[in-house]
Structure 1
Amino acid sequence: MAGRGRGRRTMSFSVDAVGISRGDSLPPSMQQPTPAFPVMEQKPLPLAVGEEAEYLLALKQEFRGAMKSLPCFIQPVAAHRGQRSQHTHPLLSVLVRTFSWNNVFSSSRT
């Protein structure tokens, strides 16, 4: 129980461990936050302009379009907004369409 209660008030850490000796001035306080990103020392190169660069860009776009038209390219299935979640499964949608709901409600009315 040493150090609790009575006795002289002491600091919770050693000032020498922090690196400040007696008589030294404290570092100045920060007036603004540190920057979110470091300063860029190397600037990015400008984009290549010219007839060759435009040709390569057009060739690249045409190649991407040709790749999307191949049968190996699988397009994601677009979700329908009005469709309920239980009808998204193919088996459930077949069951809902083929099941006769008239028989269910006619037996409960009698």
Structure 2
Amino acid sequence: MAWTHLVVAGLLEIVWAIGLKYTMGFTKFWPSVFTVIAMIASFYFLSQALKVIPIGTGYAMWTGIGVAGTAVLGIILFSESAALPRLACIALIVAGIIGLKLTSSD
């Protein structure tokens, strides 16, 4: 269950990171509320996962899921660069996440 919590936490990190763009510096009420709720939920699920998963592995995977997902959604939603070197770097992050999971003893 800890790994499920970690994946949910990572997905919620993507939600709140993208949400920050829509808050317009926390000047838009509903996007701000939604973003803060996603932040709290993300931290909650991360804290539950870290009861079992080592902090180094868990935190790295949480941020990796968030970084890779946010970068991909930035390309899709905000027309950010999809240059090959950028996509290769995102792939490296994903490879690191997979590597951490495969080498974890938990």
TM-score bracket relative to the smaller structure: under 0.3
Name the TM-score, length of structure 1 as normaliser: 0.22
Name the TM-score, length of structure 2 as normaliser: 0.23
- Asked which structure has the greater RCO (Cα within 8 Å, sep 6+), the reply is 2
Which structure has the larger Rg?
1
